[in-house]
Amino acid sequence: MVITLIVWLYIFTILTSLGILFNRISLLAIKDKSLLNENSIIQHIFNGFCLCMGLCSLLYFFSNIGFTVHLLIAIPSLISIYFFRNDWKIIISKVKNAAISFNLWQWLLIFIGFISILLATIEEPTNIDTGNYHAQSIKWMNEYKIIPGLGNLLGNLAYNQSNFLVEAFFSFSFLNYGTFRILNGFLVLVFILNIIKTFNLKNLKFNAIQFIGSIIIIFFFIHYKNWISSPSPDVIITLMTYYIFYEGIKRLTNNPLQETDNTLISIYFIAISALTVKLSAITLPFLAIVLILRTPLFFKQGRVIFYALLTLIIIVPWLVRNVFFSGYLIFPVAEIDLFNVDWKIPRELVIGVKNAIHGFSTNSQMSSVEIMKLTLWDRIIIWINTNYWYRILYLLIILFSQFYFIKLFFSKAKLSYKKTSLILLGFTTFLGVVFWFLTAPDFRFGSALVYMSISTTLIITIPKKVYLNRFFGHSFILLTLFFLFRKMHVEELYNHPLKPAPYPKVEVKINNGKNFRYAIPKNNYQCWDYNLPCVPFGDLSIVKQRGEDIEDGFKYDFN
C-alpha cells in the first residue's frame, strides 16, 4: 500500500505536468491565451494521460517502453514544473481552497471513496482477459520495440490497445521489483473523487451534474470495481466515456455559450484517444464534435485545422501500429486489406477473431461459429433470452426516448440552447448504443453509453424542482455510499502493506514453433506476466520467427 501511494503521487506529477504542457500547446495553436489557467485538475490529468499515450506511441517504433523511454518522457515532465511553476501554484491553490471549503461530510465521503478504490487497486487481479493477453501485451511493450506480426502468436495481441503503452510506462518493469499495475486505480481515484467532492450532505441541492455523477459512481462500481486492480482497457474506456459526458454536461450547465474553452479541447482529445484504446469508442469523437459545433465562431482562428491536426497526430501512429501487429490497417477488419506484408495474419483467422468477438458477446455459452450462421434477428432473440430483464428495459427506454427527442426537436415550442444540445447529445449516444449492440453486445463494452444515454433522457425530462428536492439528493448519495462500501476488502491492507498483490503464478509447458519455443499454461488459459513468448492457447507449429532475433517478428509458414 505504501509504495502504491508513492507511485500514485508520481503518476499524478507526471500526468499533470504533461497535461499542463498540452494545455499550453493547444491554446497557443488556437491563439487564445485568455484561457491559460482555466483547466481543472481532472482535465490536466486526463489530458496528460492521453499525451503520454501519444508520446509512447511514437517512441514505441524505436524502443521498448522501458527505462530509456521512461527517462525521455519523465525528465522533461519534471523539469517543466519549474518553467510552468505558475500553473502549479494555481493547481496547489485550487486544492488548498477546496480542502478548506469542504465540511466534515464531504471529507468523510472523500475518505470512504479513497479507501474503497485503494483496496480495490491493491488486491490480486481476477480479470480473465488480463491473464489471457493484457499482462502479456504490456510485457511485450516493456521488453521489445514494436514486433511485426505479433498477432500471429495470438490474435488478441494485435488489438493494439493504446492504454497498454501507458500501463507499460508506469509498470516500472526495469526496476525488477515486480510489475506495477495501478494506473487504472489512480485514474479511477481522481475521477471518482472529482465527483464526490461536489456532494454535500449538510446542504444538498442536487443538480444535473451531481445526478450524472452519482449515476456514474453507482454503475461504475457495479460493473468494474473487481477490475480496478487490472490494466483492463474496459476500465479506462469506460472512464473516458464517463469523462466526456460528465465534463460535457457540466459545460452545457455552466457556460454553454462560451466561444471556446479548454473543456471542449480536452473532450475532443480524450474522445480521439479513446478510439485507439477500443474500436467500440468509435462514436465518442462524434459526441465531442456535437459539442464543438454548437459553439459560436468555431470555424474562425484556425480551430478546424487544430482539431484536424490533433486527430492525425493521434490516429496515424495507431494505424501504422495496426499494420505492424497484424498486416491490416484496422484489426480485426479484414475488409480493409491494403498491404501485402509477409507477416499479415491469414484473412480467415482475422474473420474468425471478429466473429468470435460478436459471438461471445451475444452468448458466451454458444459456439461463435454457430451464432454467426444465424440471421441478425435470431442473434437478437438469443441476446434477449440470455440477458437480464432490466438490461432489455434499458434498451427499450433508450429506443423510445428517441421518438420523444424527435417530437421535441420538431415541435413549435422554442427549445433552449442547452436542451437542443442535450437532445443532439442523446441522439448521438443512441447511435453509439446501436453500434455497440450490432458489433459486440457484451454489456461491459457498452454499459457507459447505455447509462449515459438514459441519464441524458432523464435530464431532459425530469423537472428541475425534482433535483432540488433534498430527499431526491440524499437518496442518491446514500446509494453512492452503499456501492463505495460494497465489496470493500479491508484485509488487503494487511495482506499487501507495501505494494499491490502480484499476478498469479503460472505452470507452463514448453512447445515448439517452426524455429522458436513458446510457453503455454498447463491448467488454464492464462499466461499473466509469464516470460515471453507465452500464449494462453493455440498451436503455433506453423508459425515462424521471421529472423534470428525475436524483434524481427513472426509470420505463418504453411510450407
Q: Pick the range with the lowest mean pLDDT from 33-42, 194-203, 314-323, 344-353.
A: 33-42
Residue 19 has pLDDT above 90, yes or no: yes
Per-residue pLDDT at 302:
66
Residue 381 has pLDDT above 80, yes or no: yes
Residue 254 has pLDDT above 60, yes or no: yes
3-state secondary structure of 556: strand
Please return the burial class of 193, using the count of CB atoms within 10 Å of its CB with bins 0-12, 13-18 and 19+.
middle
Alpha helices in 84-207 (DSSP H): 85-101, 104-122, 128-129, 135-143, 163-169, 183-196
Residue bearing the bigger pLDDT, 260 or 232: 232
| Amino acid letter, residue 463 | P
Contact by Cβ (8 Å): 81, 88: yes
Q: What percent of the chain has pLDDT over 70?
A: 93
At 468, the pLDDT band (50, 70, 90 cuts) reads: low
Residue 513 has pLDDT above 70, yes or no: yes
Nine-digit cell string for 469: 428536492
What mean pLDDT comes out for the span 382-406? Answer: 89
Residue 89 has pLDDT above 60, yes or no: yes
Residue 320 has pLDDT above 80, yes or no: yes
Helix (H) or strand (E) holding 219: helix 208-224
Instruction: Say which DSSP state 534 is in.
Output: B
Q: Give the model confidence (pLDDT) of 487-506 as tens digits.
A: 777 777 777 777 888 889 99
What distance lies between CA 217 and its chain's CA centroid?
15
How many residues are present in the chain?
Answer: 559
What mean pLDDT comes out for the span 198-224? Answer: 79
Strands (E), 136-261: none
User: How far is it, in rounded angstroms, from Cα 61 to Cα 147?
Assistant: 9
Per-residue pLDDT at 356:
85
Report how far apart, in Å, the C-alpha atoms of 49 and of each of 8, 14, 364 are.
13, 9, 33
Residue 325 has pLDDT above 50, yes or no: yes
Residue bearing the bigger pLDDT, 410 or 311: 311
At 259, the pLDDT band (50, 70, 90 cuts) reads: very low
User: How far is it, in rounded angstroms, from Cα 240 to Cα 231?
Assistant: 14
User: How far is it, in rounded angstroms, from Cα 266 to Cα 279?
Assistant: 20
What's the start-to-end Cα distance of the chain, in Å?
A: 53
Q: Give the model confidence (pLDDT) of 98-128 as tens digits.
A: 888 888 888 888 898 899 999 999 888 989 9
For 440-478, b where at least 16 C-beta lie within 10 A, e where not — what string? bbbeebbbbbbbbbbbbbbbbeeeeeebeeeebbeebbe
Q: What are the residue ranges spanned by the domains of the chain?
A: 1-345, 508-556
Helix (H) or strand (E) holding 555: strand 554-556
Helix (H) or strand (E) holding 521: strand 517-521
Q: Give the model confidence (pLDDT) of 412-431 as tens digits.
A: 677 777 788 888 888 888 99
Nine-digit cell string for 303: 480551430
Residue 62 has pLDDT above 90, yes or no: yes
3-state secondary structure of 509: strand
User: How far is it, in rounded angstroms, from Cα 98 to Cα 60?
Assistant: 39
3-state secondary structure of 511: strand
* Sequence-distant contacts of 499-502: CB under 8 A, at least 24 apart: 499/1, 499/2, 499/3, 499/4, 499/122, 499/177, 499/178, 499/180, 500/4, 500/121, 500/122, 500/123, 500/180, 500/181, 500/182, 500/229, 501/122, 501/123, 501/124, 501/125, 501/229, 502/124, 502/178, 502/179
Contact by Cβ (8 Å): 42, 106: no
The angle at the Cα of 272, spanning 269 to 278, to the nearest 5 degrees, equals: 135
Per-residue pLDDT at 144:
94
What mean pLDDT comes out for the span 83-91? Answer: 89
Angle between helices 233-254 and 262-275 (to 10 degrees): 160
Residue bearing the bigger pLDDT, 296 or 414: 414
Per-residue pLDDT at 406:
86
Report how far apart, in Å, the C-alpha atoms of 556 and of each of 90, 325, 336, 344, 354 are.
56, 13, 20, 8, 19
Taking the CB of residue 289, how many other CB atoms lie within 10 A of it? 16
The angle at the Cα of 422, spanning 418 to 426, to the nearest 5 degrees, equals: 175
Residue bearing the bigger pLDDT, 170 or 213: 170
At 37, the pLDDT band (50, 70, 90 cuts) reads: low
3-state secondary structure of 536: coil
Contact by Cβ (8 Å): 141, 165: yes
Per-residue pLDDT at 206:
64
Q: Pick the range with the lowest mean pLDDT from 13-27, 128-142, 454-468.
A: 454-468
Helix (H) or strand (E) holding 54: helix 41-59
User: How far is it, in rounded angstroms, from Cα 20 to Cα 159?
Assistant: 30
Average pLDDT value for the chain: 86
Residue bearing the bigger pLDDT, 2 or 240: 240
Q: Give the model confidence (pLDDT) of 273-295 as tens digits.
A: 999 999 888 888 888 888 777 77
At 481, the pLDDT band (50, 70, 90 cuts) reads: confident
Contact by Cβ (8 Å): 209, 418: no
Per-residue pLDDT at 202:
62
Residue bearing the bigger pLDDT, 298 or 123: 123
Per-residue pLDDT at 75:
96
Q: In 3D, which of 410, 405, 421, 414 has the Cα closest to residue 294?
A: 421
State if pTM tops 0.85: yes
